[in-house]
Structure 1
Amino acid sequence: MGFFYEKKNNQLKPTTPSKSPTKESNEKQILKTNLQENIKTVKDTLGESTDIIIREIRIGKEGVLKAGIMYTDGLSDAPSIQHFIMESLMLEIKDTNIESELRPSPNLMNTLKDFAMTVGELKDFTHFDELFLSLLSGDVIILIEGYSEGLIIGNKRWAERGVTESTTQTVIRGPREAFSENIRINTALIRRKIKDPQLWMESRIIGKRTKTNIAVMYIKGIANDDIVEELRLRLDRIDIDGILESGNIEELIQDAQASPFPTVYHSERPDVVAADILEGKIAILIDGTPFVLTVPALFVQFFQSSEDFYQRADLTSLVRILRFFSFTISLLAPALFIAATTYHHEMIPTALLINLAAQREGVPFPAFIEALIMEITFEILREAGLRMPRAIGSTMSIVGAFVIGTAAVEAGMISAAMVIVVSITAIASFVSPSYDMAMSVRILRFIFMGLAASFGLFGVTVGLIALILHLCSLRSFGIPYMFPIAPFNLSGQKDTFIRVPIWKMFTRLPLISQNNIKRQQNPTAAKSRPEKEQ
C-alpha cells in the first residue's frame, strides 16, 4: 500500500490515502446476474476506455435472451467475431433444432458451448478478475442476462513481428530463424525442433499490472527435478507491478546479484534453446520479448556458439581456443602493458624498450592515465555506434576511432603503442559470442588496470587469484558456475575448451541432468558397424 506525506511541525508524516473504488476491489467481485450491472462494472473499472467494444445483442429467434459481447479493439480479430461469433448467435442458431433450448435454464451455458459456438478455445468464468485478464489479452467475453457466469472465447490477434533472422547471434552455417515477441510462436518453434511428449510446459502470469505470460519448458526425465522446483519457487516469489522483458525476470531469479558475471543465459535462437533443453536445462519464455532464458548457466557456455555444432570438430576446437585466448587479451592486455612499462622494464627487450621510451617522450600522462583515456574514449564510441541509426553507426565508430587515435598520437597526448594495445583489446572483446560476458570483461578490465598501476604484476596476480576464487564460488541454481572445470569432470571436457566429434559426445553433464545422462547408446559400436558390414 502506498502512502502520502503531509508536512506538519516541519516533519513529514505518512498518511493513509482515502479509500476509493479501485481496479483491485472490482477484480475480486463475482459476476452478477444483471447484465447491465456487469457492463457498468466493466466500463467503470476501465474508465470508459474507447478501445473496449461492448455490443448488446439478442439470441434466438424470438430474442428472448439478452447478451453482451466485449472485446478489445486492436487485440482481437474483428472479422472472426463477426463471422464466427455474432452470426452463430444471432443468425445461424435460428435454423437449427436447438432454438427451443435457448431459454433461461441451468443448462443454457452448456448448450451454447456444445451447439452454438463454432470456435476452438472456449471456457467459462465467474469472477471479474478472469474477465479483465482475458478481455485485455485479446479474448472475447460473452455475458448472458440472468446468469452469474460468462464465456471466454480465444480470439487473440494483434500486429506482430514474424519469424526473422537473428541479429545478435549471427552464424555462417545453421538455422536462420529467431524468436519473436509472441510467446505462442516461440513455444511452437521449440516444439517443432523437439517432438517429444516428455517436453512439458508450465505457464504462469507474473506482474500485478502487466499480467505477463511466462512459460517454463523442460524435458521430464532429463531435467533435474530439484532445479525445476527451485525455479518454480523463485518465480512464485516474484511480486512486482510489471514484467516488460526477460531481463526483468533474469534480475529477479539470478544468483549472486552483485557479481559482474551472468548466471542466467539468454538467446534468441530456437536451436540454441532446444539444445540446452536436450542437455537437461530449463527454458523460460516471456511474452513480449524474443530473448529466452535458460538455467542453469555455466561459465563455458558463454564461449560456445550454435555454429560450433554445425561445423567440423577440428575447426570448432581451434575457434573455441581462440575465444578463450581473446577473453584473456581483452581482460589483461592493458593491465600487463601498464605493469611492464611502469614497474617491470627488465621484462621488455632492449630494442622495444628504447622505441617505447622514444614514443613516450613528450607524453604528459603516465601509462595508466593514457590507457584510461583511450578505454573511456573507445567505450563512448562503441555506445554511440550502438545507439545511432544503423546506417551511420558503424561508420561513425570506425572513423571516430581512427581520427581520434591518429590525432591523439600526433598531438603528443597518447603514445602509439598505447593506441595499438587498446585497439587489440577492443577487437578481442568482440570475439565473445555472448554480449553479457563481453560486458563483464569491460568492467573487470578497469579494475585490473588500477591494480597494475598501483602494484604492478603483483597486483595483477592477486587480482587473478581473487577473480578465480570468485568464479569458483558462484552457483547457478545450485550448479557450480565453473563446472566442468571446477569441480573437474573428465567427460565434460569433451565440450569445454575443445569440441570432440559428436559421435564421441554420448553423455550429458552429470550435475545438470542426473536422471538420464546418456545422449546416445554405444556410439563406438554404432560408428564401426558400417565398416563391418562392408
Structure 2
Amino acid sequence: MKKSFGSFHTKRLNKSPQISDQTSEMKESTKQDGEIDNSKKLSLDLNTNLANIKQRFAKCSDLVFREFSIFQTQKAVLIFIDGLNDSNQLELHLLKQLMSTENILLRGSSLKKLLEQFVTVAQTTEVQTIEELLEHVLSGEAVLLADGETSAIALSVKKWDHRSVEEPLSEAVIRGPRDGFTESIRTNTALLRRRIRTENLKMESMKIGRVTKTDVIIAFIDGIVTDSVVTEIKSRLERIDIDGVLESGYIEELIEDNPFSPFPQFQNTERPDVVAANLLEGKVAIFVDGTPFVLITPITLYGLLQASEDYYERALISTMLRWIRFIFFLIALLLPSLYIAITTYHQEMLPTNLLLSVASARESSPFPAFVEALIMEITFEALREAGVRLPRPVGSAISIVGALVIGQAAVQAGIVSAPMVIVVSITGIASFTIPRFNLGISVRMLRFPIMIMAGILGLFGIVIGLLIILIHLSKLRSLGVPYLSPMAPLTFENLKDVLVRAPHWALGLRPRVFGYQNPQRIAPGLRPRPGKK
C-alpha cells in the first residue's frame, strides 16, 4: 500500500543530554535485569516506611496519615492528600471494611487477599517502591501500608472539584453540540469516548515535567492514523525535559516543526466533536491535564479556516460561508496596506469621484496614510486587548464604545481621516471571521510588516511581502505534512473539502496527506435519489 506520509522530511531530534529526574529515578530503582533495587523497596517495618515518607513530605500539612489496625493486631496506615480524594469512598469502602471484625477470619492472609475479599474500590495497584508510592499519592490516590508487608496497595479514590461541562466560549456554534472540554483530563477523554465507540481508539499516557508530572495523553484511531505520525509524536514528547507543564501551549512550543514561524502548526480546540472529526481523518490529539484546550496535529492552512459548523449545515450554505471566510481572511491581511499603497503611490487606480472624496477627507490630516494606519491599527489592537483583559461585563462595552468614541474624536480633531477609520473598522471585522484564534492573531501580526512594505514600495512592496509569506508557507510543515496541502502539492481527490465543501455522500475518501491505511470512510452510492432504494 502506498504510504501517504512520503513527504515526511522532519528530522528526529537527538535526545536531550540532560536526563530528567523522573527518568533517572526509574533507572536507579531498576536493575538491568528488571529486578527492583533493594534500596528503593518498601521495608517490612511499617515505622521505617512512615519515617521515609514523612521525611520526603516534610512541611506538607495536606498529607494525611490515618493509622488503624487490621485483624485487630496488625498495624496499618492509609496515606492520602486531603482534597484530592472522595471522603465517602475512603470511609465506606476502605476504612469501614478494613476495620471490620469479620477480617479476623482472614488473619494470616496477605494484604492483597484481604482487599480482594472486603474492599469494593474499582481500581487497585500493587506498589513495591517508595517512588511508586509517592507517585500514586501525588496523583490523588490513597495508599494502604501494613506492618510486615513488603508491598503497598494504591486505591483509586480520586475526586476533586472541577468545572462542569459547558459550551466553549471561544468556539460557539449555532448548530452543533454544546458540550466542551474541561480542565479534567479524564472528563475530556470520556467526552471523546462517548463519540468514538470503538476499541481502535487508543489513548497512550505519559507524564511530563520534573516537578508537575503532568498527565499527557496521545489519542488516535488505530488502523486510520499513519504509524509514523504516532511514532514521531511520541519521540518529540519523550525528549521534553522541563520543570513543569501548566497548559498545552507548553507542549506545542516544544514539539512544533518551525518555532519561529508566525503561523500555528497545531490546532487547539475545546470541542469534543472537532477532535473526533479530526481523529477520523487520521490525525492525532494530545490531551494535557489542567487545560480544556486539546492539540490536534498535523494540520493545514485550509483546515484552520474551516469551522465545525461547516459540516453540520448543508453543503451549498457551508461553501458560501467558507468563501466569505477566505475573502475576509485576505481583507484582514491586506486592506490597510492596499489603502496605504493606493493613496500614497497609485492614486490613478481610483475612480475620479472616489479620489476627490478621499483627497478632501485627508486634506485636514497632518500625517501620511501610513502613519494614520499605524496609529489606528495600534489603537484598535489595544482596545481589543483591553476588552479581553477587563471583566467580561465591562470588557465588551469598553471595546465597542472606546472604538466609536476614539474614532469619531480622531476624525473631528483632524488627526486621522474618515476613510482610514472605515478601513480599520472593516479590517477588524474581517479578522473576527477567522474561526481559529491562533490563526487570527498571526494575521493581525503580519498586517504590520506588510503595511511597512506598502508605505515604502507601494503595491510592489505588498507583492514582495505576499511572495515572502507564500514561500514560507510552501516550506512550512506540520509534523512533516505540507502546510498548503492539498493545494501544494496538488492532490485532486482532496479538493472536495478545501475551497468548497462537497456533500457528505461525495466525501468518500479520507485526506491522503494525513493517513491512507483505511481510505474509505463513506460507502459508495449514497447519493440521495428520490424513488430509488
Fold in common (TM above 0.5):
yes
SS in 1 for 2:171: coil
Q: Is the 8 A contact 1:65 1:102 kept in 2?
A: no
User: Counterpart of 1:405?
Assistant: 407
Q: Does 2:111 correspond to 1:102?
A: no
User: Counterpart of 1:223?
Assistant: 225
Q: Is the 8 A contact 1:134 1:152 kept in 2?
A: yes
Given the two structures, how large is their TM-score scaled by the length of structure 1?
0.91
**Amino acid in the other structure paired with 1:319:** L
Q: Does 2:69 correspond to 1:58?
A: yes
> Against the structure 1 CA distance between its residues 530 and 342, is the aligned structure 2 distance closer, same or farther, given a 3 Å change threshold?
closer
Q: Is the 8 A contact 1:178 1:268 kept in 2?
A: yes
**CA distance in 1 between partners of 2:379 and 2:112 (Å):** 69
User: Counterpart of 2:53?
Assistant: 42
Instruction: Pick 1 or 2: higher relative contact order, CA cutoff 8 A, min separation 6.
Output: 2
Measured after TM superposition, the shift of residue 24 of structure 1 is: 7.3
1:281-305 per-residue CA deviation (whole Å, 9 max, x = no partner) reads 1111111111111110111111111
**CA distance in 1 between partners of 2:468 and 2:390 (Å):** 38
Given the two structures, how large is their TM-score scaled by the length of structure 2?
0.91
1:48-78 per-residue CA deviation (whole Å, 9 max, x = no partner) reads 3111110111101xx2211111111100111
**1:123-522 equivalent positions in 2, closer than 5 A:** 123-522=125-524
SS in 2 for 1:526: coil
Q: Does 2:44 correspond to 1:33?
A: yes
Q: Does 2:72 correspond to 1:67?
A: no
1:299-344 per-residue CA deviation (whole Å, 9 max, x = no partner) reads 1111111111110110110000000100100000000110001111
Q: Is the 8 A contact 1:340 1:456 kept in 2?
A: yes
1:511-532 per-residue CA deviation (whole Å, 9 max, x = no partner) reads 211211111121xx23367633
Measured after TM superposition, the shift of residue 114 of structure 1 is: 2.0
Q: Does 2:526 correspond to 1:526?
A: yes
1:4-39 per-residue CA deviation (whole Å, 9 max, x = no partner) reads xxxxxxxxxxxxxxxxxxx979x9633222211211
Q: Is the 8 A contact 1:53 1:70 kept in 2?
A: yes
Structure 1 stretches of 4+ with a deviation exceeding 6 A read: none
Measured after TM superposition, the shift of residue 466 of structure 1 is: 1.0
> Against the structure 1 CA distance between its residues 218 and 24, is the aligned structure 2 distance closer, same or farther, given a 3 Å change threshold?
closer
User: Counterpart of 2:33?
Assistant: none
Q: Which moved more, 1:47-56 or 1:171-180?
A: 47-56
User: Counterpart of 1:16?
Assistant: none
Aligned positions, number? 499
Q: Is the 8 A contact 2:106 2:114 kept in 1?
A: no
**CA distance in 2 between partners of 1:513 and 1:373 (Å):** 47
Q: Which moved more, 1:409-418 or 1:350-359?
A: 350-359
Q: Which moved more, 1:291-300 or 1:347-356?
A: 347-356
Q: Is the 8 A contact 2:112 2:153 kept in 1?
A: no
**Amino acid in the other structure paired with 2:107:** L
Taking every aligned residue pair, what percent have the same amino acid on both sides?
46
**CA distance in 1 between partners of 2:446 and 2:59 (Å):** 53
SS in 2 for 1:532: coil
Alignment equivalent of 1:84, drawn from 89, 93, 113: 93
**CA distance in 1 between partners of 2:241 and 2:356 (Å):** 63
Q: Which moved more, 1:126-135 or 1:461-470?
A: 126-135
**CA distance in 2 between partners of 1:496 and 1:160 (Å):** 38
Q: Is the 8 A contact 2:163 2:182 kept in 1?
A: yes
User: Counterpart of 1:19?
Assistant: none
**Amino acid in the other structure paired with 2:527:** K
Measured after TM superposition, the shift of residue 100 of structure 1 is: 4.2
**Amino acid in the other structure paired with 1:478:** G
**CA distance in 2 between partners of 1:337 and 1:357 (Å):** 13
Stretches of structure 2 lacking an aligned partner (at least 5 in a row): 1-23, 30-39
**CA distance in 2 between partners of 1:164 and 1:254 (Å):** 30
- Tell me how large the CA RMSD over aligned residues is: 1.5
User: Counterpart of 1:7?
Assistant: none
